[in-house]
Amino acid sequence: MSLSKSNDDSNREVLDSNSDTNEEDKNELCPGFKDVDAFVKHGFGVVLSATKASAGLPQPGDEFDFYRSFPGFQEFCESQGDQILQCMSQIMQHHGCRSHVKDRNKLTAVEERFDLVVDSNDVILERAGILLDEADGVNRNQKPVMPAGFQPPKIVVSSWNRKGSGSSSQSETFRLLHAKNIARPQLKFKEKIDNSNTPFVPKIFIKPNAVKPLPSCKKHVCQPEDLDVPAALADLIHQQRTQEHVEDMFAHPYQYELDHLTVPDSLLSKPEPQMYKPIAETKLSFIDSLEDLVELNEKLCKLSEFAVDLEHHSYRSFLGLTCLMQISTRDEDFIIDTLELRSEMYILNEAFTDPTIVKVFHGADSDIEWLQRDFGLYVVNLFDTHQGSRALHLARNSLDHLLRHFCNVDSDKRYQLADWRIRPLPNEMVQYARTDTHYLLYIYDCVRAQLLDSNHGQPGLLQSVWNKSKDISLTKYMKPLFTEDSYLEVLRKQKRSFNTQQLTAFRLLFAWRDKLARQEDESTGYTLPIHMMIKISEELPKEPQGIIACCNPVPPLVRQQVNELHLLVQQAREMPLLKVRRNWRQHWHVGTPEVTLFGPHDTSRASESELPYFSPNGRLKFLQLINLFETLVDYFNQCFVLKEPDVHTEQNSLSVAQMKARRIIESFENPFRMYLPSTDVHVNKNAKFDPSSKIFEISKRWKLQSIEQQQKELEAKQKAKEEAKQQAKKASGNWLFFSTHYLFNTAKKRETPASEVGEVTPKPAKKLKAAEKTQKTETPSQTSFKPFDYSQSDLKVFAGTKSKDNSQFDPNRQGQGFKKKVPQGQKKHNSAGNRSMSYMAGKSERGFRHNWPKR
């Protein structure tokens, strides 16, 4: 690994400077170093270069597979890997942790090693935390003064090794990954966050630079009496229009403008790169008032380009929070406190959607989504330098690489994962944030020039980058939606086999976690990290204490709700114990309904009250029958020596006999299918389903559901009346019935709050508040549609079956536990541990939620 070289260099630097002031008594504490600071500085340098080096390794997937096809690379990795494991094991031993990471006989799975590392990290950080707290107690008087209402960000470390910035030692220090005692910014938001399990509706209600106006509700109300057509046709047209209306609701508000955006010739011809101003000579403005924001918007509207970047926080929030926006023009840098101005940010749409102004981002994929989600901001005319870099086939496409390549600036991305909620922002973080946009316009010039040069002056390549950027700006934010099968997607990534009890436990814990995380506005990783969920599911502890023992450190919400969790585990333990096969079927049946029939969770699910024709005893027998059938299939499978297929080589590597066997098995129909819950929802179900189609499906269902309900009410109330009418007007067929019916429904609909119909208009302020109110006051006995409480209705909506009480997991029945807010004091609990949890768990879970582009 190339890090050894840079290590030596920085090593020498430290040692050299030490030799001047080499005092023997100090040497005793950290041999070879002047003092602890020097040692720490060195340590951080080493960790940093190791992190950099590891980021430089080929990425998992094609890139890695390609490299691995070289025996030399493989050998090198093996030997380096052994060395690293050796080293880790020594550190673990030193701290008295289980340290068999390097023992290949005892451990095979990466997950197990990962668990060991997590455990050891916890032990080490716990100890560090205790010591820091101790030290902190001694210095209690020296805490910095913070604005009222703010808990001081506890320790902030920073002056170490920020090269060249010359920011001579401020003794402030801050925690990079997770600062504790930060007041939740959400509490100050004017508009409450909508974590409900419903599709995201664009937040935009004013559309600057519109070519096509925002859809208005009125425009789409269809008046059947205007239509001189038969009733059935009118009905069809009505449905069609309603569908269009719903589609407009969820559409990208600037779809039309972006579809019609063309790049002017001036942006396709070679620019003369305009040098950036030195940071020291550039004015920096911190924007945290509406006044300043308006002024900034006016300034931006006069420009032909500006650069934008965002900083984000995702650990202590369910959907994530955009904490900061950086904007750089050719002359000035701006940092906007988007926590403070969250509800006002939309005014920037005037500049952001102006097609004559280029907005330069680096790696805008997430930014585009965050802008929509938090502010209702959209970008028309985007240039993404990450796409530019890719088209140029530069060695790396990250921003720090571009900075080095074009600006000779050595940035480090150390603060990328800092807790950006910290206020007031430490100067180091301001400086970091600023460098993310300060050079970007110059890089934009250089990239465009090179794209033309590398294509012999032809604009094709540059045009393709503009197109890719446009595609990115067309991305729609999708709220994470919980479905009955969400847990399977997570399990699929784990190489574990679960029995029915363990699987049930995992499913229940997963639902509990999602529900609670939405309610408390915490990330799922904070609520209960996956590796802990797996551990609880595997061990199925008999006592609540056992659940606590599975978690180290114990997440605050787990501690608070350990009894509820215990009930879920008990419920899982009551399942008939059966082995569940995985993988091969999952791979086979991806995209077909059989996934659920044969998939690992069906047996557990079928035990629910959804088998109405059986007594409890009969239900058990039924389950056993299903399992007998499955065991037979399994046996059949084994007879043909079908191994678990490798995802990549599955198709090619099977022999003819095996393929035949597979086809036979695939043709097996589960004879109990008719008794099992509907499986339509699993058709099209894979990681890359088209989210918008899902949304339409969902909203269509809501519509149907509400229409159905209205129809029933109508029928009940006016049965006699209508019968009379129908008979009297028999001659005019059902046309009159339709129109009365329609008019009645429209009238009803106008009275129905948005939250009930699931139909939301793009006027968020008022309507959302109304929806919130319904949510807050909701009681389990309410019969109207409540999107948030999917334990009762949503799941069924997703599954396409009618609303039914879910007897297995109903958080509403769990006393006040869910309603109660966690007292701040309790949340602070276990601080030292939380840090490691935030890092390890947060990281691993982010991995499955997003694919981070290289930045």
337 SS3 class: strand
Shortest reach from residue 400's CB to Zn ion, in Å: 11
CB-nearer residue toward Mn ion: 365 or 520: 365
How many Cα atoms within 13 Å fall on the side-chain side of residue 250?
Answer: 23
Q: Which does 498 bind (CB under 5 to 8 A by kind): Zn ion, ligand AMP, Mn ion, none?
A: none
Shortest reach from residue 446's CB to Zn ion, in Å: 19
CB-nearer residue toward Mn ion: 309 or 419: 309
CB-nearer residue toward ligand AMP: 329 or 437: 437
CB-nearer residue toward Zn ion: 391 or 418: 418
Interface residue list for Zn ion (CB under 5 A) = 309, 436
Q: Give the type of residue at 24.
A: E
| Residue 369 in the binding site for Mn ion (CB under 5 A) | no
Q: Residue 835 corresponds to which tokens in the numbers above?
A: 């840090």
Tell me, by CB under 5 A, how many residues bind Mn ion: 1
CB-nearer residue toward ligand AMP: 182 or 310: 310
Interface residue list for ligand AMP (CB under 6 A) = 309-312, 363, 416-417, 420, 436, 846, 852, 855
Q: Residue 364 corresponds to which tokens in the numbers above?
A: 């805008």
Q: Which does 371 bind (CB under 5 to 8 A by kind): Mn ion, ligand AMP, Zn ion, none?
A: none
Q: Which stretch binds Mn ion (CB under 5 A): 214-222, 267-275, 308-316, 734-742?
A: 308-316
Q: How far apart are CA 378 and CA 258, in angstroms?
A: 10
Q: Which does 846 bind (CB under 5 to 8 A by kind): ligand AMP, Mn ion, Zn ion, none?
A: ligand AMP
Shortest reach from residue 324's CB to Zn ion, in Å: 8
Of 399, 434, 420, give the one whose Cα is nearest residue 176.
Answer: 420
Q: How far apart are CA 437 and CA 334, in angstroms?
A: 9
| Residue 789 in the binding site for Mn ion (CB under 5 A) | no
Q: Which does 358 bind (CB under 5 to 8 A by kind): Mn ion, ligand AMP, Zn ion, none?
A: none
| Residue 365 in the binding site for Mn ion (CB under 5 A) | no
Q: How far apart are CA 171 and CA 155, in angstroms?
A: 10
| Residue 400 in the binding site for Mn ion (CB under 5 A) | no
CB-nearer residue toward Mn ion: 309 or 354: 309
CB-nearer residue toward Zn ion: 309 or 564: 309
Q: With beta carbons less than 8 A apart as the criterion, state whether 423 and 150 touch.
A: yes
- State which H helix or E strand residue 837 sits in: helix 831-849
CB-nearer residue toward Zn ion: 362 or 515: 362
Give φ, ψ of 410 to 5 degrees: -95, 95
Q: Which does 312 bind (CB under 5 to 8 A by kind): Zn ion, ligand AMP, Mn ion, none?
A: ligand AMP
Can you tell me which of 122, 194, 305, 309 binds Mn ion, judged by CB under 5 A?
Answer: 309
Shortest reach from residue 828's CB to ligand AMP, in Å: 23
Q: How far apart are CA 463 and CA 469, in angstroms?
A: 10
CB-nearer residue toward ligand AMP: 434 or 786: 434
* Whole-number Cα distances in Å, 267 to 4, 66, 352, 381: 44, 37, 17, 11
Shortest reach from residue 517's CB to ligand AMP, in Å: 18
* Whole-number Cα distances in Å, 657 to 66, 631, 662: 31, 21, 8
Q: In degrees, to the nearest 5, what angle opens at C-alpha 619 toward C-alphas 613 and 621?
A: 125
Shortest reach from residue 433's CB to Mn ion, in Å: 10
Shortest reach from residue 275's CB to Zn ion, in Å: 22
User: What b-and-e string marks burial along 658-672, b requiring 16 or more CB atoms within 10 Å of the CB?
Assistant: eeebbeebeeeebeb
255-294 residues near Mn ion, rule: CB under 5 A: none
Q: How far apart are CA 328 and CA 440, in angstroms?
A: 8
Shortest reach from residue 97's CB to ligand AMP, in Å: 26
Q: How far apart are CA 13 and CA 20, in angstroms?
A: 12
Shortest reach from residue 311's CB to ligand AMP, in Å: 4
3-state secondary structure 60-121: CCHHHHHHHCCHHHHHHHHHHHHHHHHHHHHHHHHCCCCCHHHCCCCCCCHHHHHHHHHHHH
Shortest reach from residue 367's CB to Mn ion, in Å: 5
CB-nearer residue toward ligand AMP: 55 or 659: 55
Alpha-carbon dihedral sign for residues 429, 433, 438, 443: positive
Q: Which stretch binds Mn ion (CB under 5 A): 192-200, 249-257, 301-309, 663-671?
A: 301-309
Q: How far apart are CA 232 and CA 773, in angstroms?
A: 39
Shortest reach from residue 775's CB to ligand AMP, in Å: 28
Q: Which stretch binds Mn ion (CB under 5 A): 309-317, 341-349, 531-539, 669-677?
A: 309-317
CB-nearer residue toward Zn ion: 367 or 594: 367
322 SS3 class: strand
- State the residues that interact with Mn ion by CB under 5 A: 309
